[in-house]
Amino acid sequence: MAGLVLSGYAIKPFPQSFTKPTKQIIHPNNNPPSKPIFLHSKDPIFSSKTTNPFGSSNWALKVSTPLTIPSLDEQHLETKRDNITTLDEEIVKQEDEFDAGSPPPFKLGEIKEAIPKHCWVKDPWRSMSYVVRDVAIVLGLAAVAGYVNNWLVWPLYWAAQGTMFWALFVLGHDCGHGSFSNNPKLNSVVGHLLHSSILVPYHGWRISHRTHHQNHGHVEKDESWHPLSEKTFKSLDWMTRTLRFTLPFPMLAYPFYLLNRSPGKSGSHFHPNSDLFVAVEKKDVITSTICWTAMVAILVSLNFVVGPMHMLKLYGIPYWINVMWLDFVTYLHHHGHEDKLPWYRGKEWSYLRGGLTTIDRDYGWINNIHHDIGTHVIHHLFPQIPHYHLIEATEAAKPVLGKYYREPKKSWPLPFHLLGELITSLKKDHYVSDTGDVLYYQTDPKLSGSTTFVKK
């Protein structure tokens, strides 16, 4: 075996002098065996590419991983790879530390171009079909509950009818945005009928809601569920401050908002001279207030026909459940995400940045009942898109939105998981600073159950 040389050690052999035999006999320990052992040149673990110093053929073991010393170039390449890997890890880390308050790398027009053209088409017949469906369900539920008149049935009726009142509000909401149809008169007539039936002044609400969309995410100019400044928050008396952030009171706020807006703002949705409206809108506001008053008169009259208790069961309790749905859904459109979302003022605010702070929510079975109003980001950016195209439009826009779109948590058939997010938000989302242009909610530790929050 002294003639065997490992080819993997890169020892250069002497020139070969003799022709390699096709077979060779090896005598271990120089003692010939009883039977010779033949090692053929085709044996896969041997190679004939080296010779021993004496010129004879030598069979060397093939080594799958040769032992070599890396050159300086190879060492430099390895260092370069390490640096690239470190750089990649740093980029991933920076992406994980996404700042929702930073200006987006895309424009509103890019989102619009990504949405299919048919998503912008308003079909009045399809829109009216939802109205017919919802009104038929409302009347059917009332008829069944009134006929059965059983205390085992009433709680089920209240939950179902209150949810349907909220569905009527969403259809009237589409009329207010003009996404119901391209016909302003049709939108106005249907909007008045739907909203007046649940005691909402259609034009008064429509105008203030338009202000909300035009200024969404702006601390001072937003109209719906906007944050209180620290100065305004601290000016509130203890009772008002506590009720505003203690359930169930915030979920009963909508009728009071219609009467007198939010703390720090003045005006009424019923009065034509309110700060909410300009001179050319006074006639519309008066029309809506008259319709609202007519509905109140009808309800009062029905009290004399069927009795106050029966009216409370048929209409009063479902109305307040509708109010809770309205406050619950609209609050969670702009609050309660697991990551803190910014509010803006001054030059930092833009229509796009403000709209990107809205949040989509999944309501399980309720999604279809309340006309996918939980699909809210695209609705806020493009309120003219009909509700029945919002899901498709959102899916088309997601690649453009990237991390600025926050995928909603999947709901069980009923969205009980959102109650936890509501409670958590009310405990810590209290006010924003009086200074600065990109702001995050801060917490008043004196409010029950709250913890101090500092934006990192």
pLDDT, one tens digit per residue, over 13-55 is 444 444 444 444 444 444 444 444 444 444 443 344 444 444 4
The model's confidence at residue 234, banded by pLDDT at 50, 70 and 90, is: very high
pLDDT tens per residue, range 178-232: 999 999 999 999 999 999 999 999 999 999 999 999 999 999 999 989 999 999 9
In this predicted structure, what is the pLDDT of residue 401?
A: 97
Q: Exposed, middle or buried: residue 64 (CB in 10 Å: 0-12, 13-18, 19+)?
A: exposed
> Do the beta carbons of residue 154 and residue 313 sit within 8 Å?
yes
- Omega of the bond prior to 248 within 30 degrees of 0, cis? yes
Domain ranges of the chain: 7-61, 108-439
- Residue 406: the pLDDT is 95
Looking at per-residue pLDDT, the higher value among 254 and 12 belongs to 254
3-state secondary structure of 14: coil
Contact 44, 64 (CB under 8 A): no
State if pTM tops 0.75.
yes
Q: What is the pLDDT of residues 367-402, one digit of tens each?
A: 999 999 999 999 999 999 999 999 999 999 999 999
Q: What is the mean pLDDT of the chain?
A: 84
- At position 110, the amino acid (one-letter code) is E
Residue 165 has pLDDT above 80, yes or no: yes
Cβ atoms of 402 and 409 within 8 Å: the answer is no
Q: Tokens standing for 399?
A: 């690649």
What would the two tokens of residue 389 be?
Answer: 């195209």
375: helix, strand or coil: coil
pLDDT at residue number 386: 98
pLDDT of 66 over the 50 cut: no
pLDDT in tens, 400-440: 999 999 999 999 999 999 999 999 999 999 999 999 999 99
Q: Is the pLDDT of residue 167 over 50?
A: yes
SS3 450: coil
pLDDT (tens digit, 9 = 90+) per residue, 87-99? 555 444 445 578 9
Percentage, residues of the chain above pLDDT 70: 77
Q: What is the pLDDT of residue 46?
A: 38
Q: Is 363 exposed, middle or buried (0-12, 13-18, 19+ CB in 10 A)?
A: buried
Question: What's the rounded Cα separation, in Å, for the pair 166 and 151?
Answer: 23
